[in-house]
Amino acid sequence: MSRGARCRGPCGRSAGGRLVAVSRGDGRLNHELLPDEKGPQDACGVFGVWAPGEEVAKLTYFGLYALQHRGQESAGIAVSNGSQILVYKDMGLVAQVFDESHLSALLGHLAIGHCRYSTTGSSVWENAQPTFRATATGSIALGHNGNLTNTGELAKLVDELVAERGELNLPGTPRLRSTSDTDLLTTLLASHPDVSLEAAALAVLPKLRGAYSLVWMDESTLYAARDPQGIRPLVLGKLERGWVVASETAALDIVGASVVREVEPGELLAIDEHGLRSRRFADPAPKGCLFEFVYLARPDTSISGRSIHAARLEMGRRLALEAPVEADLVIPVPESGTPAAIGYSQASGIPFGQGLVKNSYVGRTFIQPSQTIRQLGIRLKLNPLRQVIQGKRLVVVDDSIVRGNTQRALIRMLREAGAAEVHVRISSPPVKWPCFYGIDFASPAELVANGLTVDQIRASIGADSLAYISLDELVEATTIAAERLCQACFTGEYPVALPDPEFLGKHVLEGMERAITADVDGLAALVGGAGAADALKRP
What is the chain's alpha carbon radius of gyration, rounded to the nearest angstrom? 23
> Which CB sits closer to ligand SF4, 10 or 71?
71
What does the per-residue mask of binding to ligand SF4 show for 143-182, with x meaning CB under 6 A?
A: ----------------------------------------
Q: How many CB atoms lie within 10 A of CB 136?
A: 12
Contact between 311 and ligand SF4 by CB under 6 A: the answer reads no
109, 80 contact by CB (below 8 A): yes
> Which CB sits closer to ligand SF4, 99 or 493?
493
Instruction: Find, among 197, 246, 272, 311, the residue nearest to 63 by Cα.
Output: 246
Give the binding range for ligand SF4 (CB under 6 A) out of 272-280, 289-297, 377-385, 498-506: 289-297
What does the per-residue mask of binding to ligand SF4 show for 241-280, with x meaning CB under 6 A?
A: ----------------------------------------
* Cis check: omega of the bond before 430, within 30 degrees of 0: no
**Least distance to ligand SF4, CB of residue 490, Å:** 7
129, 114 contact by CB (below 8 A): yes
Counting every residue written for the chain, the total comes to 539
How far is residue 392's CA from residue 417's CA, in Å, rounded to a whole number? 10
Q: How many CB atoms lie within 10 A of CB 352?
A: 20
435 among known catalytic residues: no
The distance from CA 421 to its chain's CA centroid, rounded to whole angstroms, is 35
**Which of 331, 489, 496, 535 forms a contact with ligand SF4 (CB under 6 A)?**
489
Catalytic one among 44, 435, 486, 489?
A: 44
How far is residue 314's CA from residue 316's CA, in Å, rounded to a whole number? 5
* Alpha helix segments (H runs only) across 268-328: 290-291, 308-322
Contact between 486 and ligand SF4 by CB under 6 A: the answer reads yes
Category of 188 on φ-ψ map: left (φ > 0), alpha (ψ -120 to 50) or beta: alpha
**Least distance to ligand SF4, CB of residue 536, Å:** 26
How far is residue 490's CA from residue 510's CA, in Å, rounded to a whole number? 20
**Least distance to ligand SF4, CB of residue 433, Å:** 7
Q: How many CB atoms lie within 10 A of CB 63?
A: 33
User: Of all helices (H) and strands (E), which one includes residue 277?
Assistant: strand 275-280
Contact between 49 and ligand SF4 by CB under 6 A: the answer reads no
Contact between 410 and ligand SF4 by CB under 6 A: the answer reads no
Residues 438-467 interacting with ligand SF4 (rule: CB under 6 A): 439
Give the binding range for ligand SF4 (CB under 6 A) out of 133-141, 344-352, 361-369, 483-491: 483-491
**Least distance to ligand SF4, CB of residue 40, Å:** 7
SS (H, E, C) 336-390: CCHHHHHHHHHHHCCCECCCEEECCCHHHCCCCCCHHHHHCHHHHCEEECHHHHC
Give the binding range for ligand SF4 (CB under 6 A) out of 104-112, 310-318, 446-454, 486-494: 486-494
Contact between 290 and ligand SF4 by CB under 6 A: the answer reads yes
**Which of 110, 289, 340, 466 forms a contact with ligand SF4 (CB under 6 A)?**
289
How far is residue 164's CA from residue 192's CA, in Å, rounded to a whole number? 13
**Least distance to ligand SF4, CB of residue 488, Å:** 4
- The 3-state DSSP class for residue 13 equals strand
Give the binding range for ligand SF4 (CB under 6 A) out of 64-72, 103-111, 287-295, 444-452: 287-295
Q: How many residues bind ligand SF4 (CB under 6 A)?
A: 11
**Which of 437, 463, 468, 523 forms a contact with ligand SF4 (CB under 6 A)?**
437
Give the binding range for ligand SF4 (CB under 6 A) out of 173-181, 255-263, 351-359, 480-488: 480-488
Contact between 236 and ligand SF4 by CB under 6 A: the answer reads no
**Which of 56, 197, 231, 469 forms a contact with ligand SF4 (CB under 6 A)?**
231
Which residues are tagged catalytic?
44
Positions touching ligand SF4 (CB under 6 A) are 231, 289-291, 435, 437, 439, 486-489
